């Protein structure tokens, strides 16, 4: 028997955690360098799919979550600004915002100023990947 979201009791959870986030990049080698060398995500596997002229790079975030980095020939640009409907940004939790920010700046990543979340009192900042995908560091 399969439970549906509509028939669960309050103490049951079907959706356990985010398994992966898929990102399509315009320049595979540039994005691979950014996510592996600059952000430091370890490679799980790298696959070239000749029939699609496409790479798929699986990157480990933690024990439960990964990033799937895809390349496709001539992907359309992402609509980002002004705010478009859909996924707004990808946020990474950090323990020490200043330390991580300093490390990224030393690697040439441009960061927006640190802000405060008025609802939680936590600090955060935004930056972009090579394709302009908005990324956030959120201090726990």
The CATH number given to whatever domain includes residue 47 is 3.10.180.10
Q: What is the pLDDT of residues 51-77, one digit of tens each?
A: 999 999 999 999 999 999 999 998 888
Whether residues 109 and 136 share a domain: the answer is yes
Q: What is the pLDDT of residues 96-119, one digit of tens each?
A: 999 999 999 999 999 999 999 999
Give the tokens for residue 18: 């985010």
SS3 content of the chain, % helix, strand, coil (to 5): 20, 35, 50
* Cross-strand pairs, 111: 127
Question: Prior bond to 82 cis, omega within 30?
Answer: yes
Q: Is residue 59 part of a domain?
A: yes
Cα–Cα distance for residue pair 99/122, rounded to 1 Å:
16
Cα–Cα distance for residue pair 59/41, rounded to 1 Å:
6
Whether residues 110 and 68 share a domain: the answer is no
Whether residues 98 and 129 share a domain: the answer is yes
């Amino acid at each position: 028997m399969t439970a549906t979201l509509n028939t669960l009791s309050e103490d049951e959870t079907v959706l356990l955690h985010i398994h992966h986030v898929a990102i399509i990049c315009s320049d595979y080698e540039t994005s691979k360098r950014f996510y592996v060398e600059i952000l430091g995500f370890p490679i799980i596997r790298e696959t070239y799919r000749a029939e699609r002229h496409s790479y798929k790079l699986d990157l480990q975030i933690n024990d439960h979550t990964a990033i799937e980095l895809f390349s496709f020939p001539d992907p359309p640009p992402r609509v980002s600004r002004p705010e478009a409907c859909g996924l707004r940004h990808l946020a990474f939790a950090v323990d020490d915002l200043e330390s991580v920010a300093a490390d990224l700046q030393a690697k040439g990543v441009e960061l927006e100023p640190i802000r405060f979340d008025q609802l939680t009192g936590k600090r955060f900042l935004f930056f972009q990947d090579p394709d302009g995908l908005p990324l956030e560091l959120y201090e726990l």
